[in-house]
């Protein structure tokens, strides 16, 4: 695809600009659930520092298993910076009835475990205990408030049944109203690239050809979770729930374990100098 080299340069420049201007990010209020960390404060085992010690990562399990019971609340319009959208949606489901919200919550907890083993502080936007939501604007605020070094929103697509594969959604350049992604587009694209490679390798799932650049990367300017983020953030659509082959994988706990490992490896490659491509 034309411009890959330029994208790499842009991503590197954006990463440097973001870290220079923001450090680990900034933000406002949010609902976020945190796990207790190593009481010794070193993030290591036996005094050895782990690769993600000192890093904070926000994992956003897409949707909420209880959204279906609160249609009025989740249909409420909220700001996405450059316009308005529903607070949240119910999400997709497989032909057997396995809901996206249950898939993303299970995967998020597996990712948290994988990242904590590497020393990271991990926050989730929710753990399925709230009545509904959080709304899309609150999900963005969660990463901002946590001053996350990186944020990933986990999803599974609800595309036509013949569509197959996973894809990463990265923020487009938006500067309108409360939305300003100019400082995070570069580092978010690099984060997306690292996740794309690691997820593919760990799961065997092919990049989706039905959306975006046909190689697993899609740029969006209409998602509040990206538009309102002040920290590097991407969405990961782990497969198409309406495709029989993808659904079989998404429903398989062993496959989800591999997916969690790949997501953790992609985040480590992005956050750890020398682990993946240099900034």
Active site residues: 237
Q: Would you say 188 and 232 are in contact if contact means Cβ atoms under 8 Å apart?
A: yes
CA–CA gap between residue 219 and residue 189 (Å, rounded)? 9
CA–CA gap between residue 74 and residue 224 (Å, rounded)? 14
Q: How many CB atoms lie within 10 A of CB 24?
A: 15
For the chain, the residue count is 279
CA–CA gap between residue 239 and residue 237 (Å, rounded)? 6
210-226-25-185 Cα dihedral, nearest 10 degrees: 50
Where b means 16+ CB within 10 Å and e means fewer, 210-224 reads ebbeeebbbbebebb
CA atoms within 13 A on the CB side of 23: 7
Where b means 16+ CB within 10 Å and e means fewer, 257-270 reads bbbbbbbbbbbbbb
Q: Is 67 helix (H, G, I), strand (E, B) or coil?
A: helix
Residues 6+ apart with CB under 8 A from 252: none
Nearest CA-CA partner of 248 in 133, 185, 161? 161
Q: Would you say 56 and 198 are in contact if contact means Cβ atoms under 8 Å apart?
A: no
């Amino acid at each position: 695809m034309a411009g890959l080299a330029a994208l790499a340069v842009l991503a590197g420049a954006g990463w440097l600009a973001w870290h220079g201007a923001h450090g680990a990010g900034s933000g406002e209020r949010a609902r976020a659930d945190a796990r207790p960390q190593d009481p010794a404060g070193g993030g290591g085992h036996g005094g050895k520092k782990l690769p993600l010690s000192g890093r904070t990562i926000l994992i956003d399990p897409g949707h909420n298993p209880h959204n279906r019971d609160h249609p009025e609340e989740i249909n409420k319009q909220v700001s996405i910076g450059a316009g308005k959208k529903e607070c949240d949606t119910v999400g997709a489901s497989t032909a057997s009835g396995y809901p996206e919200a249950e898939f993303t919550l299970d995967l998020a907890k597996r990712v948290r475990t994988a990242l904590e083993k590497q020393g990271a502080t991990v926050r989730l936007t929710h753990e399925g205990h709230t009545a509904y939501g959080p709304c899309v604007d609150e999900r963005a605020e969660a990463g901002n408030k946590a001053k996350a070094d990186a944020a990933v929103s986990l999803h599974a697509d609800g595309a036509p049944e013949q569509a197959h594969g996973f894809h990463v959604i990265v923020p487009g350049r938006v500067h309108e109203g409360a939305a300003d992604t100019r400082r995070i587009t570069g580092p978010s694209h690099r984060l997306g690239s690292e996740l794309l490679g690691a997820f593919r390798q760990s799961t065997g799932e092919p990049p989706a050809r039905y959306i975006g650049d046909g190689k697993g990367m899609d740029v969006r300017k209409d998602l509040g979770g990206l538009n309102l983020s002040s920290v590097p953030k991407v969405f990961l659509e782990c497969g198409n729930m309406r495709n029989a082959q993808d659904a079989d994988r998404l429903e398989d706990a062993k496959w989800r374990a591999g997916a969690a490992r790949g997501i953790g490896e992609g985040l480590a490659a992005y956050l750890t100098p020398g682990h993946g491509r240099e900034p």
